[in-house]
Amino acid sequence: MTTDLKAAVIKASEKWKAAFNAGDAAGCAACYETDAIMVAKPFGTFTGQTEIQSFWQNLINDGFTGVDYLGPEITVLDETSALLTSGWKMNKAHGVITRELWVLQADGTMVLREDHFEAQG
């Protein structure tokens, strides 16, 4: 199960990155639970898909693209959840992901319940 869960997180993470890099904020938001929490330092805390979608849309509108993860590590927490941490970079910024909590859904997909990251430049 550990290998399967890690593979599901990788697949879900790739889906989120592809949506962002395609300029699809709605696609990004769809990778989160309905009531997910995103803490984006220094920008603030965003709760729920609507607020999260608005955050990503603003970045996309400002020309941010090309997100990639640097050295991601996935830790399986239990049978239905895993934690991803990583460095990240894109065309206009870089930083660190301190906590992406991915949770298995009834349909077999993984979505984000929590997303904590920091822009460092």
How many CA atoms within 13 Å lie on the side-chain side of 38? 22
pTM of the model: 0.95
Q: Which pLDDT score is estimated for 2?
A: 76
pLDDT in tens, the chain (121 residues): 677 999 999 999 999 999 999 999 999 999 999 999 999 999 999 999 999 999 999 999 999 999 999 999 999 999 999 999 999 999 999 999 999 999 999 998 999 999 999 999 8
* Total domain count, the chain: 1
* Residue 57: partners with Cβ closer than 8 Å, 6 or more residues away: 25
Query: Is the distance from CB of 105 to CB of 28 less than 8 angstroms?
Result: no
Range of the domain at 111: 2-119
Any idea what the CATH number is for the domain that residue 96 is in? 3.10.450.50
Q: Which pLDDT score is estimated for 3?
A: 78
Helices and strands, counts by H and E, the chain: 3, 6
Tokens coding 20? 């962002």
- In which residue are the tokens 């300029």 written? 23
